[in-house]
Each structure stands twice: as C-alpha cells, then as structure tokens.
Structure 1
Amino acid sequence: MPASEDLPYVLVDVFTDTPFGGNPLAVFTTAEGLSDGEMQAIARELNLSETTFVFPPPAGQEGHTVRIFTPRAELPFAGHPTIGTALVLHASHGGAHLVLHEKIGPVPVRILAAEGAPRAVLTSPRIPERIADAPPADLLARLLGLGPGEVLGGAVAPACCSAGVPFTFIPVRDRAALARARLDGALWQTALADGPAPHIYVLTMEDWRAGTALCARMFAPAMGIAEDPATGVAAVALAAFLAGLRDLAQGANRFAIRQGEDMGRPSRVELTVDVSGGRIAGVHVGGGAVRIGGGALSRAALARRAG
C-alpha cells in the first residue's frame, strides 16, 4: 500500500447482537507494510481492549494472518478479536470456514449463517490446562474489595489456568459479590503482577456442580485493560477450571457466559467443551458481532508520531 494512502478499518461490537453492547474491536483489513511499532501505536491511540491487523496468509497457506494488539502489548491469541475479525472478513469475502493465522498458530473458525445474523465459532489451537495454584482466598478477597467468605474455597477454589493467555480464576459467592468487586491496583501489583497468571477472571454460578450458566468479570491491568466486557480467550481457559470442579460429560458440554453487565456493555459468550475419555478434547467459543462503523487512519499522521 502506498505511504500516501490511509488505513481503512471496521469497528464492530463482538459477543452481542446489539449495537454498543459487547466488546468493541477495530479491524484493519489491509495492514501490509505496518511495523510492529506502528501497530502498537495504533492500538494505543484507539485505546480499545484489542485492535487487529489483517495480512495475507503465510506462503503456501490459505486464510489470513491476524495480529492482535491491546493498548500495551501484542497477544498470541484472543477470542473476541478472532470472532470479530472472522465476521468482518466473512462480510467482505464470504466463506463458511476461515483460518486465521495468529501468533499461537492457525485458528479455525466456522461461520454459522443459517438463521439470522451470522455467528462465528472458533476452535482453540491449544487445550487449556491448570498451570498453578492461585493465591489464598483471603488475599483474593482483599484484592477485589470483598468480605470474608465471599471468595470461595474448598471444593470450589481459585485456580490459575491458561490456553495461551494465563488467568487467575476467582469464584465468588453470588451475583451481588461479583457486582461489588473492585480491583485493588496496588495489591495486584505486589501480589499478582509478576505471578504466573496476572489477569483476573471473577465468576459466579448458581450451581457449581451441574450449572451451565455463569456470570463473569475480567480485569487485566497488565494488558492496559481496566475491565473487559467480553473475553473469549478466558472462556477457553475456563474450560480447564470447570473440568477441575466436576466430571464433564462425554461429548459436548455447553455453557453460556454473561459478561460486561456491570460495565453497561452486556455480552454473551458461548463455550463448548468437548470431552473424550474423561479428558478435554477440544474447546470452542462462539458469538456474534454488530458492525457499528468504520473509518480510516492517516498514514501521514502515523509517520509523524513521536517515538
């Protein structure tokens, strides 16, 4: 692309069917020629939780290369950028099966368009796993500004899980406790920032043993995200957390995640955990997206940026 041309982008809200709900995403559909520093500068300028940049696929392969940036860092894999980018590409190129080549590897995405607005379902390139024990429940309660007993322990205890991006999963007593949670940034810095799972996923369920619906919030100061309204990569890692609480059934186990409600951006994330022989065999995350606008970023302004 000539240096004089502006960079077009599409703005979508992901994991929702309602404008101004879900998680916003900017998709730069023709990013050839951009450097890593330029992509990071653009993501910092737009200040969305993530911004994606689309390139041609690796030589000899099909699909699209996708780079994902938060305002502070590049991510190897993320859910709402994958879902949103896939639906933007589907709108312009069509196709029921896409492959997005992300830093973590190829991510297959199916487009479901039989009824209503299209939805996208990604298959995680990595099986999630528990990676570490979490800090004590009483410390996590103080981290969230909650009282004694509001962070659960025992059979339903916090844990650190990852499918490429590590999260500390913190189960809380009820929906009211989830709504009151406020992250203590100073305590996070000293207790979790340098730990194995610095990103915080707080969740609650009415029935931890058999329920399929849950509510969640996600805080990621390490990514420059105060709170995220919908987090697909955390949903993938959640599969490992849930498998640690109960015996998942053979076949497909489906869960519905509500997130973003306490931010005024309600989101719905669909999680399917495939189980074979008592082990997680695959994880799929799905949802919709709504196009709310677009524009172009000035290449001339980008070239004049400081730093």
Structure 2
Amino acid sequence: MYELDVVNVFVGPDGRGGNALGVVREGRTVPQEMRQGLAAEWGFSESLFVDDARTGLVDVYTPGARLPFAGHPLVGVAWLLRRQGEDVPVLRPPVGEVAAWAEGEASWIRARAEWATGRRTEQFRTVAEVDALPAPPPGDGWLYAWAWEDEGAGRVRARGFPRRGDNVVEDEATGAAALALTAELGRSLTVRQGGGSSILTRFHHDGTVDLGGRVRWDGRRPFAPAAGPGDQRAAGAGCRPQDHEEDIS
C-alpha cells in the first residue's frame, strides 16, 4: 500500500479555488513504469512523485504525459514538504534546479520563463468575454485566455484550457501559464483563474519569474496498484481524499 496526499494549490484569499495536486511522498517506492498509469487513474491535472525529499528530486505527470516542469505541482510539494518538517530550498524536476521558499501564507518557487512551453496566451478585451468562453473553446493546443481586471494594479482574469484529449477540460489554476504571461508582459501579476484561484507572480529582468500562492491540504488516501500489467488502479478509486484524512503535521 502507498499513500497519496492531495493538496490544493493557488487557493484564493477567501479559501475558494485551488488546483488539486496528488503527491506521493515516498515516490522512490513506486516504479517509474507504473507512474503514468496512476496519474491517469487519479485524473488530477498533475500528479507528483517525490523521489528524494532531501535533495528535492521530483517527477511530475499529467494524465497523459511526463512533464519536465510544472508550476502548481512544485509550489504545492514545496509547501507540503515544509509542512512535514522537510525544508527543501531547491526542487529538482527534470528541467533543472528550482528555488523554493515560504513568505507568510504563500509558498513560492523561482523558475525560468523558457521552461513554460507549449501554452498559447490570448488576450480578450474584457473579463466578461473570458468568463463567457465555453469549456473548452474550439481549437487545438493549450490556451490561456486572459483579460485585464485592473491593468494599473497588474490584476488579470484568466482561464486555462489544456485541450489535450484527457479528462481535464479546464485547469483551475496554471502556474506555468501564469509564468509565461508574466514573462510576455514583463511585469508582476496577480491572476484570478478558474472558479476562485489566485496566482501571484514577480517578474525579474534576468529571465526568471517568481510564482507563488496559498496551499491547502485536502487529505490523504491509500492506494495499491493492481497486480495485472497495465492496470494500476488505486485502492478505493473514486473515493474523496477526505474520506481518509489524518494529521500530517
């Protein structure tokens, strides 16, 4: 049996929103050939396996692909490890070293803008136009639709549509896309995405962007991959994470 922690990343200031992330803290015990199947079974926009908490070595998957970099999983796992007494100043996904730290209620990472690839941003004239978009809009490829809420204050309304053929129709909060938009605009932002998520960014002229937000723990559940090849189903699949809550502090 393994354990899966679920955290919500980029929770809004009123406690709503947040993008669910599945984290296997003892990732080194899960063979790599099983991970993609598990990520597809769980259905989170991203799932993360911690291969070495001491050195920050992590492995990230969507339901259909392994990712070299992803924003919300790294913000989320940095918070989770810190909550459990593992203060990891550097995370190491396949793309390279990512600094991680905490400021007040927010968990932060620093990443390079060129790591946030594969997402097209499109500006709309008004927030109402962004809110009126169907999920997903017609077309192919990852779309980050956005409009200014308050340009002077750097406040943005955004929605994210992966359009990649898996079960994630709309991403509630997308760190890499917010990072890409920050780099394109050349300024720090506060992004309101999805149904209530809040993403904070800081632009730096050296090509890096800080990405941060609030994180909430939403429970833990056991899972056991099935014995049959290619059939890695979680024990109790379909149950809510809070059905197996316990203290993680």
TM over 0.5: yes
Please give the root-mean-square deviation of Cα atoms over the aligned residues, in Å. 2.1
2:184 to 241, 266, 270: 241
1:78 to 51, 70, 76: 70
The answer to whether the aligner puts 1:55 opposite 2:46 as a matched pair is: no
Alpha-carbon distance between aligned partners in 2 of 1:223 and 1:291, rounded to the nearest angstrom: 28
- Secondary structure of the 2:97 match is strand
The answer to whether the aligner puts 1:202 opposite 2:136 as a matched pair is: no
**8 Å contact kept, 2:149–2:157:** no
Change (3 A) 1:259 1:184: closer
Bigger shift: residues 84-93 or 280-289: 280-289
The number of residues matched between the two structures is 229
What are the Cα deviations for residues 110-167 of structure 1, in whole angstroms up to 9, with x where unaligned?
A: 1224xxxx4211000x234xxxxxxxxxxxxxxxxxxxxxxxxxxxxxxxxxx34221
Computing the radius of gyration over CA atoms, which structure comes out larger, 1 or 2? Answer: 1
Deviation at 1:296, TM superposition (A): 1.2
Unmatched segments (≥5 aa) in structure 2: 232-249
Q: Which residue of 1 aligns with 2:234?
A: none
The answer to whether the aligner puts 1:304 opposite 2:191 as a matched pair is: no
Q: Which residue of 2 aligns with 1:269?
A: 199
The answer to whether the aligner puts 1:108 opposite 2:108 as a matched pair is: no
Q: Which residue of 2 aligns with 1:213?
A: 155
**Identical positions, percent:** 28
The answer to whether the aligner puts 1:168 opposite 2:120 as a matched pair is: yes
The answer to whether the aligner puts 1:121 opposite 2:104 as a matched pair is: no
Alpha-carbon distance between aligned partners in 2 of 1:179 and 1:231, rounded to the nearest angstrom: 16
Alpha-carbon distance between aligned partners in 2 of 1:204 and 1:221, rounded to the nearest angstrom: 20
The one-letter code of the counterpart of 2:202 is T
Deviation at 1:294, TM superposition (A): 0.5
**8 Å contact kept, 2:136–2:169:** no
Q: Which residue of 2 aligns with 1:148?
A: none
Change (3 A) 1:26 1:184: closer
The one-letter code of the counterpart of 2:147 is T
Q: Which residue of 2 aligns with 1:282?
A: 208
**8 Å contact kept, 2:182–2:188:** no
Deviation at 1:34, TM superposition (A): 2.5
* Mapping for residues 88-107 of structure 1, pairs under 5 Å: 88-95=80-87, 97-107=88-98
The answer to whether the aligner puts 1:69 opposite 2:61 as a matched pair is: yes
Unmatched segments (≥5 aa) in structure 1: 1-5, 129-162, 193-197, 244-252
What are the Cα deviations for residues 256-275 of structure 1, in whole angstroms up to 9, with x where unaligned?
A: 000012xxxx1000010023
Alpha-carbon distance between aligned partners in 2 of 1:205 and 1:103, rounded to the nearest angstrom: 33
Alpha-carbon distance between aligned partners in 1 of 2:6 and 2:221, rounded to the nearest angstrom: 8
Q: Which residue of 2 aligns with 1:179?
A: 131
The one-letter code of the counterpart of 1:172 is F
Q: Which residue of 2 aligns with 1:8?
A: 3
Change (3 A) 1:296 1:170: same
Deviation at 1:206, TM superposition (A): 4.1
**8 Å contact kept, 2:136–2:170:** no
Alpha-carbon distance between aligned partners in 2 of 1:215 and 1:21, rounded to the nearest angstrom: 14
Alpha-carbon distance between aligned partners in 2 of 1:233 and 1:25, rounded to the nearest angstrom: 14
The TM-score normalised by the length of structure 2 is: 0.84
The one-letter code of the counterpart of 2:223 is L
Q: Which residue of 2 aligns with 1:259?
A: 193
